Amino acid sequence: MAQHNRIIFALDVGDMGSAKNWVRKLKGHIGWFKVGLELFTAVGPDIIKLIKDNGIRCFLDLKFHDIPNTVAGAVRSSTRTGADMMTIHLSGGRAMITAALKAAQNASIELGIERPKIVGVSVLTSLSGEDLKEIGVDKTPGEHVAHLARFASSCSLDGLVCSAEDLPHVRQNVPETLMLITPGIRPSWSEKGDQKRVATPLSALKAGADLLVIGRPISESPDPLQALKQIISEMQSR
């Protein structure tokens, strides 16, 4: 896989105009755009159509977490928008995950399209070990992620979202076929921001990541395309 196709740009903006500018600027330079809660809440499914019309894959990162029937409906609707991949929270349980996979499969058959990938969210990269203790999880982030990774694999999910710090715990606990998507990617020359468990693009790939979610190191650079080139150059040195 070409290294630029491993990059998911986090389209963390709040209006369609800004989104269009980024799609126009980065089209052909990355493999995916990630649409999160802020943008989707502001503009709805039109953003997915914009991305797809420009020949780019869409990662819909809304982190569904509800009763099985509700999540199944959300996944069904998301499949109909053309999203190529979407997130659900693993803490929703097996019945919810099974309902999500079934809904995606049925909707894609109905539409005659490839089934979107359903990936599980383990532990948010903004959470530290102390944060987990505060909410009643008596494990380190690495231990908890490893447990959730095994669970995700047993549920036949397509992939898992986990921090680069947790990759060594995860890769050894799941099949190679389980795709690992890593946010919190920060090149050595960028700021950490609010992410507590971060890594460089190269170290994440070496630890087993398949796709890298990168936002602010590109979007906050005075020359985003140059920043992207630097990131790709680092990735190619593995």
* pLDDT for the residue numbered 153: 94
Rounded mean pLDDT of the chain? 91
**Residues forming the active site:** 63
Q: Two tokens at 220? A: 């906050």
Encode pLDDT of 6-52 as tens digits: 999 999 999 999 999 999 999 999 999 999 999 999 999 999 999 99
The per-residue DSSP string of 27-52 comes to TTT-SEEEE-HHHHHHHTTHHHHHHH
Q: Which domains does the chain have, with CATH numbers?
A: 3-236 (3.20.20.70)
* pLDDT for the residue numbered 142: 82
Compute the residue count for the chain. 238
pLDDT at 55 over 50: yes
Residue 156, SS3 per DSSP: coil
Q: Two tokens at 186? A: 């920060």
Give every CB contact of residue 79 below 8 A, 6+ residues apart in sequence: 103, 104, 107, 108, 111, 113, 115, 116
Residue 121, SS3 per DSSP: strand
Encode pLDDT of 169-221 as tens digits: 898 889 999 999 999 888 876 655 544 445 889 889 999 999 999 999 999 99
- In angstroms, rounded to a whole number, what is the distance separating the alpha carbons of residues 80 and 52? 12
Of the candidates 194, 206, 196, 193, the one whose C-alpha atom is nearest the C-alpha of residue 235 is 206
* pLDDT for the residue numbered 198: 59
C-alpha angle 156-161-163 in degrees, rounded to nearest 5: 140
* pLDDT for the residue numbered 102: 98
Residue pair 88/65 in contact (Cβ under 8 Å)? The answer is yes
Consecutive H or E run containing 85: strand 85-89
- CA 99 vs. chain centroid, Å, equals 20
Percent of the chain clearing pLDDT 90 (strictly above): 72
Confidence band for 124, pLDDT divided at 50, 70 and 90: confident
Range 143-172 average pLDDT = 90
Q: Two tokens at 97? A: 């995950």
Amino acid at 16: M
* pLDDT for the residue numbered 194: 46
